[in-house]
Every structure is written in structure tokens, then in C-alpha cells.
């Protein structure tokens, strides 16, 4: 027994080594699958002819000289352009100023000292879910801030990180407002209806009612799982300094007044520049687009291109003006030191992100995720299911395919062409089909290291880990499983209730045709 325990201890892998093993495994697997000619076809609707075009996808082998050449030649450029790393570094500059100036400690403590733990957790979860409107930046903003919210509340920061990541991933398919991703998915859904109805249109607020209910219920279930279950499973955290009674003095009040005033002015200027039609307004929009949401979130809009930097400047302003008011920043040297505060000791994090970027690049290149998604889609086509069985099958396929192909747009481009006509023939509206897809993919979004921002979650767990041994990749996934199960239960219940009762999904939109 002692020898077995020693063996188990020896084979525990560091997260960096885990990604290395995944890279080697993916390369070998791609060679095996390509050798056996694993491939799949899926249907894409031609918007001109309004008919199906079949697309063939095959597994590309990297277990070859050309494959190795690709890995070596693309690694540097891929890492340099790896969005999670770029966003994290920029956002951490702003968070460093807020933290070092003491703004975060004072602001968080003032807001949470008289609030129950469960209420704080619920509000944090709700904010993270709503933050999906801003896209993936939520992962690099809310994960580090959530850790500090729990830390300054004298609670385990690992729990804050886990809760934030669960909320961001399980809530990734919930949008109270239409985002650029939603607009893209709606376009694909509408195109897929052309097989049966070339005049079909989707209302902009066609999902609002079901999204509001799902958002609130998901935040409640995540808060409950955190406080009743995960809090007892996550590693303990010991505070090195003794707890001091918090006092909000004149300096702190003056600092908060300064920072909130400056921050409010900055936000007003920012908001004015995303509102079209006013004098000198709308400077951050892309006017080559027709819909406002596309003007705001298109890849060519100043808002979309510079949003991370906009957030960083906002954080710097809050921290700087608090420091001026509270006299924790006395000169330019203090400010410059604060800018790099959150980047201290980030070397291991960069190495971890580097290995994750290589793994994701390799996995995408093999097309394994695309082929598996296409095969699962074919399963829906041949099932001959209708009604509730078809709804549940689409939900399961969306969940399973997300493990291998996290990108929503790529996944829906494969699934929607064949699935939407099947749903319509079964009397189910295309809008409801898109909601089923979004709910299904959300439950497994946080369970796969193929998802680019999973490494941010892993990196911050490592940062606050007090154990001598690093947190294993498998354990970080285990932390998320209770949330995935809870989210699946909530989403399935909502879907079935809406379908059976016939409640409106949003304005002029219902689950059935």
C-alpha cells in the first residue's frame, strides 16, 4: 500500500507537464486517426441557391515531418498573438494600480463588510454572467478581481476564482443584450431556415424573457453550489496577517470620492462615444455596419479593438485618483511602481500560458474537434427524433462537441445547417433551437482545456495556491463539475418548461412555430 501511494505521488503531473503530455497525445492521435481516414461531412446552406452544400472535413496528421515543421514554425507567432496572454497583461497593469493604491481593499471591504457571504457570492456570480456581454475579457477581469474580493473579505481566494470561472463559463450562453457573437449565430440560424422558409426573420429581442430567468436562476444555483458544496472541497487558504478591524477614515473617504468622480467622468465620455447620432458622438463605432450591435462589436470597430485598453485605463484612473485622494500615491514613482505590481512573479504563469497556447494551436490544426462535431451532428440527422427527444439530443450534442470545439460560431456553423430544418419540421422554432444549443454548450465550456481562457483560471489557482505541490489540471476540472451538473439541471428544466407550457422566449418569439 505504501509503495502504491508513493507511485501515485510520483506520477502526479505539474500543469505545465500536463499540457506537454496533451500536446504529444494530440500529435500521436492525429496520426492514428488520419491513418484510418477518419472524416465527416456536414451541410451548409448556400444563401444564394438556398440549398445544401456538403462540406468534407478530415483529420490532419501532425505526426509527420510536415506536421512537426508546422508546430515549430507557428509556435512563436501563435504565442505572440495568443489573446488571453495579451489581454491578461494589459488588464493586470490596471488591476495593479487599484490594488497597490489600496482602492480595491477599501472599496471591496466597504461594500461587503455588512453583507452575508452567500449574498456576496450571488452578486459576484450574477455580475460574471452579465459580463458575457463584453465577451472574453470577463475572464481576465473578473477572475483576478474575484480572487481579491474573497481575499479582502477574509475568505478563500481560490473559492472566488472557482466561482467566477464557473459563472463566466456556465453563463457564456446567456446574453441579456444581443452581442456580436449572438448576431453571428442569428445570421447562421436565419440562413439555415432558408431551406424551408426564405422569408424567416428573428426579432432582436426574441430571447430576452428566457435569458432573464436563466441568468437569475443560474446565479442562484452557482451561489448555492459554492456555499454548500465546493467550499468544503477546495484547498484551504491561511491568511498570514492577522485580521484587522476595518475603519473608513477621512483619507479613505476622500480617496473614494476622488476615484469615483474621475471614474464616472471617464465612463460618461466613453458611453457618449458609443452612442450614435449626437454631436461628436459615436467615435468608437464601425459605421460600415447596419445594425447597432455590429457597429459596436464588429472586428473593425474602435470599441472592439480597444476595449481591453479602455478597461485598463479605467482601472488606472480609479486607482490613481484614489491614491491621490488617500495619499497612497504621492508622486510619479509610486504610480509607476504600482503599474507593475500585479505583474510581479508572473514568470510561471507565462510559461503555463505558453504551453496551453501550443496545445490549443496543435489541437485546432488537427481538425479533430471539427470532425467530431460533424459526426455528432450526423447523429442528430439519422436519429429521426422529434419533440422533446430531439430537443434533448441537440442539448447533449452541443455539450459534448464543446469539449472538443469550444468556439460557438464554428460549432453552430456545422450544427445549424442540418439541425434547424429538422427542428422546424418538428414544429420547434429556430430561435428555440439556438437557445437549446447555447444552453447545452455552456455546461461543458469550463470543463475543457481546449478553451483558451481555461489557462487563466488555472494560472490564478496556481497563484493563490499555498500547497507545496501545484494544483493538477484534473483537479481544476473537478472543481467545475458540480457547477456543470447544476447548470445542466437548471437549463434542461427551463427548456422543458418553456416548450411544454409554450411561454414566450422574448418579444414575438415562442418555442414552437
Whether 508 maps to a domain, the answer reads: no
pLDDT for 142 beyond 80:
yes
Does residue 37 register a pLDDT over 70?
yes
Q: Is residue 341 situated within a structural domain?
A: yes
- Residue 213 — very low, low, confident or very high, per pLDDT cuts 50/70/90? very high
The model's pTM = 0.93
| Average pLDDT of the segment spanning 270-289 | 86
Whether residue 486 has pLDDT greater than 60: yes
- Is 301 a member of any domain? yes
Question: How many domains does the chain divide into?
Answer: 1
CB count in 10 Å sphere of residue 332: 8
Listed residue (61, 15, 11) closest to 356, CA to CA = 15
Which cell numbers in the block locate residue 450? 481546449
Domain annotation covers residue 507: no
Rg, Å, the chain Cα set: 24
* pLDDT value at residue 79: 93
Phi and psi torsions of 408, nearest 5°: -65, -45
How sure is the predictor about 8, in pLDDT bands with cuts at 50, 70 and 90? very low
The pLDDT tens digits of the residues spanning 94-115 come to 999 999 999 999 999 988 888 8
Element holding 84 (H helix, E strand): helix 83-100
Give the dihedral of Cα atoms 172, 175, 178, 183; nearest 10 deg: 40
Rounded distance between C-alpha atoms, residue 147 and residue 155, angstroms: 9
pLDDT of amino acid 1: 46
Report the candidate in 339, 342, 316, 340 with the shortest Cα–Cα distance to residue 460: 342
Question: What pLDDT shows up at residue 245?
Answer: 72
Alpha carbons 418 and 374: distance in angstroms, whole number: 10
Question: DSSP 3-state helix, strand, coil percentages of the chain (rounded to 5)?
Answer: 70, 5, 25
Quick one: DSSP state of residue 247? -
Residue 53 or 445, more confident: 445
Place of cell 505545465: 16
- C-alpha 132/C-alpha 261 separation (Å) is 26
- pLDDT value at residue 345: 81
Residue with cell string 456570480: 125
Mean pLDDT score, 453-466: 93
Query: Which range of residues forms the domain containing residue 197?
Result: 2-501
Residue 259 lies inside a defined structural domain of this protein? yes
- Cell reading at 109: 471591504
- Which string of DSSP letters, residue by residue, matches 17-66? HHHHHHHHHHHHHHHHHHHTT-EEEEEEEETTTTEEEEEEEEPPP-SSHH
Instruction: Count CA atoms within 13 Å of residue 192 on its CB side.
Output: 29
Does 321 score more than 70 pLDDT? Answer: yes
Mean of pLDDT values over 436-447: 97
What is the C-alpha separation between 61 and 35, in angstroms, rounded?
8
513 in a structural domain: no
How many whole angstroms separate alpha carbon 390 and alpha carbon 337? 58
The answer to whether residue 506 is domain-embedded is no
On whether residue 228 sits in a domain, the answer given is yes
Residue 499 has pLDDT above 70, yes or no: yes
Amino acid at each position: 500500500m505504501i509503495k502504491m501511494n508513493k507511485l501515485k505521488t510520483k506520477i502526479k503531473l505539474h500543469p505545465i507537464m500536463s499540457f506537454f503530455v496533451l500536446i504529444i497525445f494530440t500529435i500521436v492521435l492525429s496520426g492514428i486517426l488520419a491513418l484510418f481516414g477518419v472524416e465527416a461531412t456536414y451541410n451548409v446552406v448556400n444563401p444564394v441557391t438556398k440549398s445544401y452544400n456538403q462540406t468534407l472535413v478530415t483529420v490532419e496528421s501532425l505526426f509527420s515531418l510536415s506536421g512537426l515543421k508546422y508546430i515549430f514554425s507557428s509556435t512563436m507567432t501563435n504565442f505572440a498573438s495568443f489573446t488571453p496572454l495579451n489581454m491578461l497583461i494589459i488588464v493586470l497593469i490596471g488591476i495593479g494600480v487599484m490594488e497597490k493604491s489600496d482602492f480595491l481593499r477599501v472599496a471591496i471591504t466597504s461594500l461587503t463588510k455588512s453583507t452575508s457571504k452567500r449574498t456576496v457570492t450571488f452578486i459576484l456570480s450574477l455580475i460574471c454572467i452579465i459580463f458575457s456581454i463584453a465577451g472574453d475579457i470577463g475572464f481576465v477581469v473578473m477572475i483576478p478581481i474575484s480572487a481579491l474580493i474573497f481575499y479582502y473579505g477574509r475568505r478563500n481566494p481560490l473559492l472566488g476564482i472557482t466561482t467566477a470561472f464557473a459563472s463566466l463559463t456556465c453563463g457564456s450562453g446567456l446574453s441579456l443584450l444581443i452581442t456580436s457573437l449572438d448576431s453571428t449565430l442569428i445570421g447562421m440560424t436565419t440562413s439555415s431556415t432558408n431551406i424551408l422558409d426564405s422569408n424567416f426573420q428573428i426579432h432582436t429581442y426574441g430571447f430576452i424573457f428566457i435569458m432573464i430567468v436563466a441568468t437569475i436562476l443560474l446565479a442562484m444555483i452557482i451561489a448555492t453550489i459554492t456555499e454548500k458544496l465546493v467550499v468544503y472541497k477546495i484547498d484551504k487558504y491561511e491568511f498570514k496577517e492577522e485580521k484587522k478591524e476595518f475603519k473608513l477614515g477621512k483619507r479613505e473617504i476622500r480617496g473614494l470620492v476622488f476615484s469615483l468622480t474621475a471614474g464616472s467622468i471617464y465612463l460618461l465620455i466613453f458611453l457618449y462615444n458609443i452612442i450614435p447620432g449626437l454631436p461628436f458622438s459615436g467615435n468608437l463605432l464601425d459605421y460600415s455596419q447596419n445594425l447597432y450591435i455590429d457597429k459596436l462589436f464588429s472586428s473593425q470597430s474602435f470599441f472592439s479593438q480597444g476595449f481591453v485598453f479602455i478597461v485598463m485605463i479605467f482601472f488606472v484612473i480609479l486607482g490613481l485618483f484614489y491614491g491621490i485622494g488617500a495619499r497612497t500615491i504621492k508622486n510619479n514613482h509610486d504610480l509607476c511602481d504600482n503599474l507593475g505590481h500585479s505583474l510581479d512573479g508572473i514568470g510561471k504563469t507565462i510559461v503555463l500560458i505558453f504551453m496551453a497556447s501550443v496545445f490549443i494551436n496543435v489541437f485546432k490544426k488537427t481538425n479533430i474537434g471539427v470532425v467530431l462535431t460533424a459526426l455528432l451532428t450526423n447523429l442528430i440527422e439519422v436519429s429521426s427524433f422529434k419533440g422533446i427527444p430531439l430537443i434533448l439530443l441537440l442539448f447533449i450534442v452541443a455539450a459534448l462537441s464543446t469539449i472538443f470545439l469550444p468556439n460557438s460560431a464554428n460549432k453552430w456553423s456545422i450544427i445549424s445547417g442540418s439541425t434547424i430544418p429538422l427542428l422546424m419540421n418538428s414544429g420547434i422554432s429556430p430561435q428555440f433551437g439556438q437557445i437549446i444549443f447555447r444552453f447545452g454548450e455552456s455546461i461543458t465550456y469550463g470543463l475543457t482545456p481546449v478553451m483558451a481562457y481555461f489557462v487563466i483560471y488555472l494560472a490564478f489557482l496556481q497563484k493563490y495556491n499555498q500547497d507545496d505541490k501545484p494544483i493538477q489540471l484534473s483537479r481544476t476540472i473537478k472543481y467545475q463539475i458540480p457547477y456543470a451538473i447544476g447548470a445542466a439541471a437548471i437549463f434542461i428544466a427551463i427548456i422543458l418548461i418553456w416548450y411544454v407550457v409554450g411561454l414566450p422566449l422574448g418579444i414575438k418569439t415562442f418555442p414552437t412555430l
